[in-house]
Structure formats: C-alpha cells, structure tokens
A and B are shown apart, each in its own frame.
Chain A
Amino acid sequence: MSKKSKAGDHPAIEAHDLVKVYGENRALDGIDLTVRRGQVFGFLGPNGAGKTTTIRILATLTRPDSGTARVLGHDVISERDAIRARVAVTGQFAALDEDLTGYENLIILGRLNGLSGAAGKQRADDLLAAFELTGAAGRPVGGYSGGMRRRLDIAASLIVTPDLLFLDEPTTGLDPRSRSQVWELVRQIATAGTTVLLTTQYLEEADQLAEQIAVIDHGRIVAEGTSAQLKSRVGSGTLHVRLLDGDQRPRAQQVLAGALEGTVHLAADPLALSMLVATPADGTDVGRMVGRAMIQLAEARVGVAEVALGQPSLDEAFLALTGHTAGPTAIDHQDVSA
C-alpha cells in the first residue's frame, strides 16, 4: 500500500446513507460504504439489489435523492469533474461502439482523454496487445465474443490509468475461461495500484478477488467483512453426499449431523443428503472436518458413492446472512418499478 501516503488520507470511497428512489421502489435504502485506497472491494448481491445504482451515483452519472458520498476525496454532487478525471467505469453492459473496430474505439477514447495522436495510437496498440486483442483489433466490436468485448471494455477504462475503477458485474454471462481471464486482469490492475470496486452476483468471485466484501440486498448492506469473516457467518460450503444404498440414509443423516454439527437436508433423490458446513471456530480446516465425518460414516458401515464440497451459493449465503433467499423477492421488487 505504498500509494496510500502519496494519495492523501481520504479513503477511495466514503458514502453515507445513500438513498435513491424510483417511483415506489427504494433502489437504495441507506447505503454506507467505505473503501480504502488500493483495495479490491467486492459488492455482492442479487439482481436488483442496487449495485448498479450505487456505482452510477459514485461515478457521478446518477444523483442520489439523499445522502452524501465522496470519491477520492471529492463530493459526487458538487465536484463531479474532479471525480470524472480520475475514475473509470466498466458498466454491466459493454460501453463500446458496436460499429467501430476495437482499435477505433480505443483511439476515440484516447483522444477524449487528452492523448495526442501518436500517444493514443501507441496506447491503443499496447492495450490491445496486453489484453490479447491484437488479432481482433481491426474488426467491428459487434462481432466480438462476450469475453473479447469484456476485455476491450476493461481496456477502454484503462486508456488513462484511473485511480479508481468501477467494474459492474464484469464476468456475468462469461464462460469459465473468459471469467478466469477477467479475474487475472482484475488482480493485475489492483497490483498496479488502482483501487477496484467490483460488483458481482457470485460469492466465489468476491471471495477470489476482493479483500473486503459488502453484501447488498434490497438497497441495504446486510453484511460486510473480509471473505473469511463472511464465511464464518455463512459456512464454508455445502457438503453433498450420495450413498450406495438408500436404506442407509437415516443412519448417514445421524452420523453427519453429529460429526459436523448442523442440520442435514434430505434431497429429493433418495440416495442424496446435503448440509451447510460451518467454518470451524478453532481454525481447523474444513477438509479435516469433512474427512473425519467421512471416516465416521465408514466406521458406521455406510457406503458412500460420491462426496462433494461446494462453495455456498449466493442463495445459501443470503439465507445464512438475512434469513431469506435472494431470488424471488428481488424479482418482485423489480416488477413494482416496471
């Protein structure tokens, strides 16, 4: 964090009680947020939670109905030019000219960011090379794949290196390979000293990239902490077990409930059981805990066909953090606004 001393004492983002109302719908219902400089901050929430609205307010594109926010020390309402000069936004939907080529998109943005002709061309070439888009540089963006579009969109945000980069759901809709490419880029951008505020619907993504995570639901922050802190509240993951013999399920349920101290869920499949595994308080790793449980199953002569330990899904995380699931309520909410 060598940047910190140079860049002053302001946090990258300081938001207090942000409210945004669309008709009857409180899109943001009192958001408080502090993001330190140099951090990758994860903003995790289901569709309609208010992630994009928050980013648009912080990037000075939308005005909050009430509340205050300072970005890089500047007020989002009265000092928007100072903010705009130093932040970049990669929106949820690619912000590129579809008719223009990748190269032309970057040249235009370079000019608009004050790069001279030669410097802009050099910058465009360098970015295209670094983002592995040189081969596609001369083709209209309309023909790009989702992953290429995302990469170009992020490259466009780096035409002039921002002090703060907003990435709104950068991997939604990408295939796994493109997703890991984007993850790698985000890590590199953060390493180079740019603060990143990243929104996502995937717990795994926030876990992989963000040092600090805020969970947002219905326009409110319902939980905040490091990935480890949230996991200790959510649980490490879900254990799925499939048995060889369905008759042994009651016995397996009893053993697992005792070994892992939780409620075992009986799936519709008569051979399957699952349970949310709590993160051990004493620092024992989850693998060891699950391993012990498996040994106990073997000792009880329960035949196991398959075992899997998965990350908790966003739904499971929400259930654990808020006591309700994320999906349907969010959709109801959107219907109200329509």
Chain B
Amino acid sequence: MSAPAAVTRPAAAQTHQIDILLAAGRSRRRAGALAASATFGRRAMLKIKHDPKQLVDSVAIPILFTVLFTYLFGGAISGSPGDYLKFLLPGVLTMSIAIVTMYGGARLAQDVTTGAFDRFRALSVWRGAFVLGGLLSDAARYLFASAIVVALGLIMGYRPDGGAPGVLAAVALVVAFGLSLSLLWAAVALLVRDPAVVISIANVVLMPLSFASNIFAQPGTMPGWLQAFVAVNPLSHVATAARGLMSNAGGTGGSVAWSLIATAVITAVCAPLTLRLYSRRG
C-alpha cells in the first residue's frame, strides 16, 4: 500500500491497517495439544464468569442432597448427626457429583448446535482438545461441588476420622469417577445434540444407580436380586471407597480398586467414542 501513515481519511487509514494486519498475520504455528485444551477450559470458565447461572446445578444439587438426605435418612439411623454423617456423607458426595455430571453433557449438547462449535471443529488443533478442555472445567465444577458437600457436612457436625488427607483422597476418587461419566454424557450429547434428551438419558441411567446402591442403606435388608445389583453397581463401590477413605477404615483397598477400574473402563470406552463423534463429518 502506498498510502502514507499520516493519511487521516478513516477509510484509507482502515485499508492501510487491514493490509498491514493481514501481512503480519501470515506466520502460523500450530497450538500444542495442552495449550489448546487449556484454552478450551478457559473458554468454559469465561462462560461461567459472564453467566454465573451456569453454576446453579453445581451449587444447588450438593446443598439440596446434603441437607435433604441427612435429615431424611439420618433419623432412621441411630446416633448423633456426627455418627450417621460418617455413613451418609461420603455417599451423598458420590451421588451429588454423579448427578452434577449430566448437566455438563447438557451444556455440551447446547454448545454443538452453535456456529462456534463448527469454527472450533475446523481448527487444525488436536481434536481431543475441545473434549479435554471441557473435562478440565468439569473437574473444577466437581471440586467446587465437593467442597460444598464437605463444608456443609462439617457445619452439621461431621468429623471425618481420615482427616484432611482422607477427605482429599475420597474427593479425588469421586471426581475422577465423575469425569469418566462426563465423557459418557459427552458421547451422548454429540450423538443426540439435544440438551433435554441428554438429561433424560442420564437420569434413566443415574437414578437407579443412585438409589439401588449402598449410599442410603446397607444392602443386608434388600431382596437378593437387588443385593446382586448393588454389588456390581459402580456407584456402590465409589461410595464404599469414599466412606473408607474419609473414615480411615481399613480394608477399603478392594472398593478403591473397583472404583478405579470402573473409572478406567468407562473412560477407555467413551474417550475414543467421544473423539470420533466430535470429529465426525456429516
């Protein structure tokens, strides 16, 4: 462009600027896989910042479940709140996180219908970055929700025998399991592309898993077929493991291992599926 820098006509100045901009923008480096994932995570955080309503599920569900289930079922169990919270709170933590996971799937289903999603898909970054970035922000939500459950429990008189290390270990286990569910709902979301349908499907899966488990009652009094289901229900194992870790009880190695295996299996099945659905071309 021959226009001198001092030209004051706005149109000419603008032409000049765009010309220089385009010339300057030609160098290209591919964003690394981790940098791209972190950027998608940051995008999710910015969305929360501008629209805090998005956090409602991660706040309301832990509060509701902790307070409701403690007073609903606590009475049926003998002893002081401090006693029965030892049994109930780790299960409530597990169930709260499990239920919160489905809202991430619903948000993704919403996201994929927007033009922004197409722009991201057309980028030449690692195709897993979008999904991993989503998991990063989900992890932050689950930690936040866990903190609410634990804080409310402490207020209501819960004193974990496992101390801070036990609680942190239990939270880490529950969050890891939650992230594997998150991948499952991501696959569902990419398949059905409708938030309401994602919620329905997730409810159909999670409600029986939550209630037909050892979260609210020990399975000793249940009919045999239900006991059999409770025994293979991964939520039971996660709840048992969390209970063991938080109360520093011995002999929880088995349920911790089962929880980790369940997490690994769900992840191994859903991660490739999600990636394939994400980069699928219509």
Contacts and interface: CB of A to CB of B under 8 A. Distances in A.
Number of chain B interface residues as a range: 35 or more
A93 B115 contact: yes
Contacts of A10: none
A78 B29 CA distance: 21
B19 A188 contact: yes
Interface stretch (A108-116, A203-211, A309-317): A108-116
A161 B26 contact: yes
B7 to A, nearest CB: 14
Contacts of B282: 56, 61-63
Number of chain A interface residues as a range: 35 or more
Interface stretch (B9-17, B135-143, B209-217, B238-246): B9-17
B25 A160 contact: yes
A253 to B, nearest CB: 45
A309 to B, nearest CB: 28
Interface in A153-206: 156, 158-161, 184-185, 188-189, 191-194
B43 A85 contact: no
B50 A100 contact: yes
B21 A130 contact: yes
A127 to B, nearest CB: 7
B21 A108 contact: no
Which secondary structure dominates where chain B touches chain A?
helix
A112 B281 contact: no
Nearest to A140: B50
B281 A60 contact: yes
Interface of B: 11, 14-15, 17-19, 21-31, 35-36, 39-40, 42-43, 46-47, 50-51, 114-116, 118-125, 129, 281-282
Interface of A: 56, 59-63, 81, 84-87, 89, 91, 93-101, 104, 108-109, 111-115, 123, 126-127, 129-130, 132, 140, 156, 158-161, 184-185, 188-189, 191-194
11 contacts: A62-B281, A84-B122, A95-B116, A95-B119, A112-B36, A123-B25, A161-B25, A161-B26, A191-B19, A192-B19, A192-B22
